[in-house]
Amino acid sequence: MYRLKKFGVMRMAIVSGLYGAMLGVIFGAIAAIVMSVISVGASNIYGINISGSPLGTFFFPILFYGVGGFLGGLILTPLLNLALKMGKGIDFELEAVGPKGPAPQQPATQKPVPQKPALKAQAPKIQKPAPPQQPVSEYKH
């Protein structure tokens, strides 16, 4: 079990800004399609030109949602950190999945498993050759 106690303000603002920009892409695409359909229909029926720029209709939501998300993250993250401090954090559980996850650590309450010492490689003992023996003669002089 882990406890989340604090967010980094600038990191949270950057992530919020990117999240807002992604939402701006979705809403901008929908707005551009709707505005182009409405402008074609209105100009054909009533002779009124309300088209505007489809590119502007697409890019303005990206810009505004992105900047708004960044500023919102910049302002709201300290408030979130204060709430986390007052509420003593948020408990959550992590699960390692697949071989890329970190190796699980042993809890501090258990004794570490003793490891066997590594065997040292020993060089084979080389026996020295016996000194040469002098031949014993059978004949005495």
In a domain? residue 41: yes
In a domain? residue 82: yes
Q: Which domain holds residue 60?
A: 29-48+56-87
Q: Which of 60, 77, 54, 73 has the alpha carbon at shortest distance from 25?
A: 60
Chunked into runs of 10 residues, the chain (141 residues) has average pLDDT values of 86 92 89 75 56 69 89 93 89 77 60 65 70 64 54
Q: Could you tell me how many residues make up the chain?
A: 141
Q: Which of 9, 14, 5 has the alpha carbon at shortest distance from 91?
A: 5
pLDDT at 50 (0 to 100) = 54
Q: What is the pTM of this model?
A: 0.54
pLDDT at 114 (0 to 100) = 67
pLDDT at 48 (0 to 100) = 55
In a domain? residue 67: yes
Structure-token pair, residue 123:
């060089």
What DSSP string runs through 119-138? Answer: PPP-PPPPPPPPPPPPPPPS
pLDDT at 23 (0 to 100) = 92
In a domain? residue 5: no
CA distance 17 to 23: 10
In a domain? residue 70: yes
Structure-token pair, residue 127:
């026996």
Domain count, the chain: 1
In a domain? residue 129: no
pLDDT at 75 (0 to 100) = 94
**Phi, psi angles (nearest 5°) of residue 13:** -65, -40
In a domain? residue 80: yes
CB 58 within 8 A of CB 31: yes
pLDDT at 68 (0 to 100) = 92
Per DSSP, the chain holds a count of helices (H) and strands (E) of: 2, 2
